[in-house]
Amino acid sequence: MKRLLIPILLFMFVLLGCQAPPAESISQPAEQELALDPDIAERHDTAIPEPYAGTTSPVAAEDASSGELYTLHCAACHGDSGMGEGPAGQVLDPPATDIANTSQLVSDDYLVWRISEGGSSFGTAMPAWKGTLTEGEIWSLVNYLRGLSP
């Protein structure tokens, strides 16, 4: 019986040590840590101009062939994962946006506008791609961005 008592007591001691702390002792992130950077939020709340407002994709959402386009035109700044970690994006002021997260918060027509026209209207260094990429390629990039997960 004594041989069984020691392992039971050890087991109970371990269980007591594994209890979750009371809810009031768990720290919550500050409210400002949960919000978007104010500059990014302002850019994303901007009204979409004509001819982009309300446009819809002529490219099927299943089109995932734009990974090569993203690697070629976007990854240097936005990073392979879209988290803004690209080497070229780190030296920009402001730095390249974490597009994996922010692209999930905006509409398709917003993304087409920003990819097409670049960042000049927002004071960012993002180039305009409408002279380089076709409309279909830009929509394929939108589909690719939708598939990025933070």
Q: Which residues touch 41 (CB under 8 Å, ≥6 apart)?
A: 35
Domain architecture of the chain: domains with CATH: 63-150 (1.10.760.10)
Phi-psi region of 41 (alpha: psi -120 to 50; beta: other; left: phi over 0): alpha
Provide the token pair at 92: 């920009």
Query: 149 with 77: CB under 8 angstroms?
Result: no
| CA–CA separation, 128 and 108 (whole Å) | 17
Q: What is the pLDDT along the chain (150 residues), one digit of tens a residue?
A: 555 445 444 444 433 344 434 433 333 333 333 345 555 555 556 789 999 999 998 888 776 567 899 999 999 999 999 999 999 999 999 999 999 999 999 999 999 999 999 999 889 999 999 999 999 999 999 999 998 877
